Amino acid sequence: MSANAISGNTSESIYRSVRDLIQKGRLRPGEALPPLRELAETLAVNRNTVGAAYRRLASDGYVHADGRRGTIVGDNRTPTHGVPTSPPGLRNLSDGNPDPALLPDLGPALAQAARRKYLYGEFIELPELIETAPAFFSRPDMQPGQTAIVSGAMDGLERILVSCLKPGDRVIVEDPCFGTALDLVRALGLVPIPVEVDQYGIVPSSLERALRRDAQAILITPVAQNPTGATMTADRLDLVIHILSKYENVLVIEDDHFGPLCIDNLPSNYGAHGKNWVTICSVSKFLGPDMRFAMLFGNPHVIKLVKVRQRLAARWVSHLLQGIALHFMLDPEMKENLAHACAVYAERRSLMKSRLEKLGFSPIEGIGLNIWVPMPDPNNLAQMLSAQGWMVRPGDAFTMEAGSGLRISTGRLDSETAEEFANALYGCITNLERSLTA
């Protein structure tokens, strides 16, 4: 691509010019951008100005560095952050899975759900499920027009984004964030805007700055944020909602993948925020990822748009899955089972956290099935750990501008494994520091 095709005299205008060329197909995947010096001379601007534009294009997934080839246009339709397959022989602390021993036997519920044969033209949603789900997910005020059933959290997120936004719209995402969600935002032609996260979730001052960048939507995870485990206090959540209330046209999308497993759940109705909000409540962490089932609760207008889109494609979620979910929502033992699983996961996460802290690491406070350990050079560390038989996720799968780290999954952890891994990580850090000073 000739430097003459790109215009602008600020990093923002240069960014927009290159982004538009990519979105219109004039810059294609694999094509190189002009070198920094060449483009700076052509546009009569400082090299740092072009560098800032290129860095932002990279953080938004439009380009990537490719050694001697320079800055290359990427294919943001191709997922890059999916869950990797664990090679044989590695001890897997990377996948974020729940413990199968803490998941219920689906057989009896499936047998019960299979007694009725549903055909075309019948009701799409089980009426009893629509009545039961709001209370189960701590959203008792939701009415039938404020609920929808989708095939898992990511299916719900895709339908929301496609139904409510258009390519080029900006979506605020937590940084670090769930990598697959970031992939999806980019694949749909949307522009991710990073917002800082601390141990209590989204940082209010960073949220204010992100909202001033003309955002159309925000994806927020108040409880057990992935990958950090960060969980909002009631005060932090109130402050975030107060800030959002100044931007009534911004669509608020809440990811509540862990809610029923959290004893101190934060029922976060964004109704006071304005007309645009929706919450995704998945069952994957307590019924199993293979259920592919989630509930949406939200503003009637948003829910209607999602249902219209759904009925043009999948049309409905299997009544067998709906029946299974309803069975456990009505099960009198479910509350006790969830409390037990919650306690076990909290103990395992705390176990890993304490082992790491004893060796001088600073993992993020929080809850859930993962723990985040900020540290430099996580890719190199992940490779070193792999050579010793451990598989973890390096931070570049989750971050845009945030400092990097390692995500360690703790859902199936035991004391011996925690001790061995912490020692292995400490050994790798020590060896890496020695190599850098040699």
| Percentage with pLDDT > 70 across the chain | 91
Give residue 290's Cα distance to chain centre.
18
**Per-domain boundaries in the chain:** 3-73, 91-100+335-437, 103-330
Task: Kindly report which listed range (61-75, 237-251, 303-317) carries the lowest average pLDDT score.
Answer: 61-75
Instruction: Determine the pLDDT at residue 23.
Output: 77
pLDDT at 409 over 90: yes
Position 222 scores a pLDDT of 92
- For domain 91-100+335-437, give the fold: Aspartate Aminotransferase, domain 1 (3.90.1150)
Which helix (H) or strand (E) segment holds residue 433: the answer is helix 415-437
Question: What pLDDT score was predicted for residue 1?
Answer: 59
Q: Locate 23 and state its tokens.
A: 């979105």
CA-wise closest residue to 355 among 424, 406, 403, 407? 424
pLDDT digits (tens, 9 = 90+) for 122-171: 889 999 999 999 999 988 888 888 999 999 999 999 999 999 999 889 99
Which residues fall within 8 angstroms of residue 125, CB to CB, at 6 or more apart? Answer: 147, 148, 149, 316, 322
Mean pLDDT score of the chain: 88
pLDDT digits (tens, 9 = 90+) for 349-390: 999 999 999 988 999 999 999 999 998 778 788 888 998 999
410 versus 275: the higher-pLDDT residue is 410
User: What dotted CATH number matches 103-330?
Assistant: 3.40.640.10
pLDDT, position 265: 60
The predicted-structure confidence for 15-27, as pLDDT tens digits, reads as follows 889 988 887 788 8
User: What is the average pLDDT across 265-274?
Assistant: 56
In this predicted model, what pLDDT tens digit does every residue of 190-248 receive, in sequence order?
Answer: 989 999 999 999 999 999 999 999 999 999 999 999 999 999 998 999 999 999 989 98
Express each pLDDT in 333-342 by its tens digit: 999 999 999 9
Alpha helices in 137-247 (DSSP H): 153-164, 179-187, 204-211, 234-244
Fold of 3-73: Arc Repressor Mutant, subunit A (1.10.10)
What value does the mean pLDDT take over residues 398-402? 83
Give 411-416 contacts, CB < 8 A, sequence gap 24+.
411/96, 411/97, 411/98, 411/99, 411/345, 411/348, 411/369, 412/97, 412/99, 412/348, 413/93, 413/348, 413/349, 413/351, 413/352, 414/348, 415/351
State the Cα–Cα distance between residues 320 and 118, nearest whole angstrom. 9
- The gap from C-alpha 351 to its chain's centroid, in whole angstroms, comes to 24
Query: Does pLDDT of 6 surpass 70?
Result: yes
pLDDT above 70: residue 73: yes
Would 3-73 and 91-100+335-437 be classified into the same CATH topology?
no
